[in-house]
Structure 1
């Protein structure tokens, strides 16, 4: 009886392994058995290095997803502005780097939505300038991550509102990483930093309270998605299936709680794609 149980356990294990391997073989990846992931590892708490090892929400999530697919995850550290270009150029299978869903990007790549966040305005601690909304940024120098989704919003606001009303243009200063944008703020090369809300909280801790968030609510809530090459429906479906699995077993919600993030609703996702 015991031998029968052991044999059944071995048989079941073998069948599972075969199923995983078959699933992995069906998924088109750049390297056999490997899921190559593009991430900008300068954006804590989403993506960063911890003792030279990729860490953060995206690294944890992709490790779980890759395991479910029977693939080995490999994260390529790439600056944010080059992620979409790299995906289109077949340098990665997927981008997992807190990539906001925008109508413009949706024309270039396909998405698997998985998070909701938003922006915050941050200044030097004790600064007399305490902006609460984007309308307070007229005539100011704003530090930002290069290629961030809110840059076009600030440019439009500047040309359509700030300049015509005589309040002065918004000087958007784009940097290769969020820490570099924060350094510009710390050195007073910028008046304010427009940053993702979760990242802003992390930067405040890293600078030991030298910075503070002045906006009262999340600015322009946004949906984040995993990026895949346009038309790669097989990989997108596989990622979606694994994400659903993590939601069902509770691992996804546990991660959201740990990182103080939210799951996007269907309405949130629809609004992200439409730009409304």
Structure 2
């Protein structure tokens, strides 16, 4: 078989290099794709109330928790660096809508009211628990037993309108006394009010309550017999940045596919969302 000419060898070499280039591009789609527009270049700015373990909190001077690790994973998929902006819970939605940050990741419940002004990607299922002092005589098993009592809660919590409706529609009609709610800036302040006797019960996220019991098993008790007001928790973006929302949806889907999401859920003891639950919420995005 005669030796190939130099010209033919060069042609074959060019073809091989071109094929290799296409192969590299095909193997690295995230690197090839342009990053979505964000408030700060090359950065995914995340609004979080960093006082809410195990979702978001400070540990050794750095943001930590489930939401933090989730957003770092999503940012990595997008080729961005995650930057967390500590913001009180009641200011998170207004902050996102004013473009102070790109996304909210702070144990934010997905509610119909919030879906009117934000786009959500649900990532876990949660609900509420009733927390009392360990030696408390009043030990409510459900929300209907809160009539005539003082309830402590974080400001802006999604369950507050429900407790108000319960007080008006059930407690008042049955002459059981109104449910009085006292709101605080942080969950830690609510717990302090419980310790001081300013409130009878703390109404809180069930995962946060479980975390508190791990640290202080001799001080507190969860008395609710079942999850109250079950709901999904999601990361949220303002509707004006649909490009970022779609990119984060794809990044989250990739984390679920490669197993990193499942590992995170297992580490923190969270309840994962299903494909159908995600689609039902994401499909309502504006």
Do both share a fold (TM > 0.5)? yes
Query: Are residues 273 and 203 of structure 1, via their aligned partners in 2, closer, same or farther at CA, if it must alter by over 3 Å?
Result: farther
Q: Pick from 88, 91, 107: which aligns with 2:97?
A: 88
Deviations along 1:57-104, one digit per CA (max 9) or x if unpaired, are 010011111011000110000011110010011111000111000011
Q: Aligned to 2:236, what secondary structure does the other structure show?
A: strand
Q: 1: distance between equivalents of 2:232 and 2:283? A: 9
- Is 1:46 matched up with 2:55? yes
Deviations along 1:213-259, one digit per CA (max 9) or x if unpaired, are 00111111110111101242211111111111111111111111111
| Structure 1 residue aligned with 2:206 | 197
| Structure 2 residue aligned with 1:4 | none
Shift of residue 161 of structure 1?
1.3
- Is 1:253 matched up with 2:262? yes
| Structure 2 residue aligned with 1:113 | 122
Q: Pick from 229, 244, 248: which aligns with 2:253?
A: 244
| Structure 2 residue aligned with 1:166 | 175
- Is 1:23 matched up with 2:33? yes
- Please tell me whether the aligned partners of residues 103 and 273 of structure 1 are also in contact (alpha carbons under 8 angstroms): no
Shift of residue 207 of structure 1?
3.7
- The structure with the largest alpha-carbon Rg is 2
- Segments of structure 2 that go 5 or more residues without pairing to the other structure are 1-16
Deviations along 1:128-159, one digit per CA (max 9) or x if unpaired, are 11101110000000011111111110011111
Q: 1: distance between equivalents of 2:183 and 2:193? A: 10
Correspondence 1:155-234 to 2 at 5 A:
155-234=164-243
Shift of residue 181 of structure 1?
0.5
Q: 2: distance between equivalents of 1:132 and 1:126? A: 15
Q: Pick from 25, 35, 51: which aligns with 2:44?
A: 35
| Structure 1 residue aligned with 2:109 | 100
Q: Aligned to 2:76, what secondary structure does the other structure show?
A: helix
- TM normalised by structure 1 equals 0.89
Query: Are residues 124 and 269 of structure 1, via their aligned partners in 2, closer, same or farther at CA, if it must alter by over 3 Å?
Result: farther
| Structure 2 residue aligned with 1:138 | 147
- Please tell me whether the aligned partners of residues 121 and 282 of structure 2 are also in contact (alpha carbons under 8 angstroms): no
Q: 1: distance between equivalents of 2:283 and 2:201? A: 28
Q: 2: distance between equivalents of 1:239 and 1:63? A: 11
- Please tell me whether the aligned partners of residues 117 and 262 of structure 1 are also in contact (alpha carbons under 8 angstroms): yes
Query: Are residues 24 and 36 of structure 1, via their aligned partners in 2, closer, same or farther at CA, if it must alter by over 3 Å?
Result: farther
- Please tell me whether the aligned partners of residues 122 and 278 of structure 2 are also in contact (alpha carbons under 8 angstroms): no
- Please tell me whether the aligned partners of residues 114 and 225 of structure 1 are also in contact (alpha carbons under 8 angstroms): yes
Deviations along 1:159-185, one digit per CA (max 9) or x if unpaired, are 111122211110111111111101100
Deviations along 1:180-220, one digit per CA (max 9) or x if unpaired, are 10110011110001110110112223445311100111111
Correspondence 1:5-16 to 2 at 5 A:
15=25
- Segments of structure 1 that go 5 or more residues without pairing to the other structure are 1-6
- Taking only aligned residues, the RMSD between alpha carbons, in angstroms, comes to 2.6
- Please tell me whether the aligned partners of residues 101 and 272 of structure 1 are also in contact (alpha carbons under 8 angstroms): no
Q: Aligned to 1:97, what secondary structure does the other structure show?
A: strand
- Please tell me whether the aligned partners of residues 24 and 33 of structure 1 are also in contact (alpha carbons under 8 angstroms): no
| Structure 2 residue aligned with 1:235 | 244
